[in-house]
Amino acid sequence: MESYIDIELGIRLVISFLLGAAIGLEREYHSKAAGLRTMIMICLGSTIFTEISIILGGSNPDRIAANIVTGVGFLGAGVIFKDGLSVSGITTATTIWISAAMGMAVGAGQYFIAVVSTGVIIIVLSMFNKLQRFVEKLHQVRTYKVSINITDENVIEPEMKLLALSYNHKRSSKENNTLNVFYEVIGSEKKLNSLTESLKKNEKVISFEY
């Protein structure tokens, strides 16, 4: 009986390794911060913790498994970065989180849930990336921070109107004689790139970022 249990645990660890590797390979292929080894370790670790939680039992057999969600949440937060006015790493963070869920499913013996979910995750990460790029070409929302001389306050909006872009003036801040203006601009990728090029060539624009 004990030998049977050991074999079952070994099979679960192998399945966890394979599922973590499948997700990790996709992330590694796209050169993401959390790649092959990270996903394998997260998936395996979640499986092991879930198994230990089940073996220990007690009045609250789910106490260890419940803390995996919190612990992995902190781990995922470490790969989210703010770059200028944009935020990156959210998809990687959620992939870490859901890889832990796959490991927990394997540890609990729910192989069907784990395998099917892993397939769905890989489809979302790989194929939906192309769909996302297609949508981004048609519609994007960018937040621009443009620094201009305080006397040239109305130099930006005519550019956006000329390109038929939708925009919303979020806020402004003054620093000496420089005015920092924040706009949320909505339009196609082509039009937004045209706005970026226009701002580069505009001599009245001191600096800008988005």
Cα atoms found within 13 Å of the Cα of residue 126, Cβ hemisphere only: 14
- Identify the bridge partners of residue 148 per DSSP, sorted by sequence position: 179, 205
Q: How far apart are CA 82 and CA 15, in angstroms?
A: 35
Kindly give the confidence (pLDDT) of every residue in the chain, 210 residues in length, as a single tens digit, with 9 standing for 90 and above. 555 567 888 889 999 999 999 999 888 887 887 788 989 999 999 998 888 888 777 666 667 777 787 788 777 777 777 766 667 788 888 888 889 999 999 988 899 999 999 999 988 888 887 888 888 888 989 999 999 887 777 788 888 988 999 999 888 888 888 889 999 999 999 999 999 999 998 888 888 988
pLDDT of residue 2: 54
pTM beyond cutoff 0.85: no
Q: Indicate the DSSP class of residue 189.
A: H
Contact (CB, 8 A) for 34 and 27: yes
pLDDT of residue 4: 58
Domain boundaries, the chain: 2-136, 139-209
pLDDT of residue 188: 92
Q: Is 139-209 assigned to CATH 3.30.70.260?
A: yes
Is the torsion defined by CA of 27, 29, 34, 35 positive or negative? positive
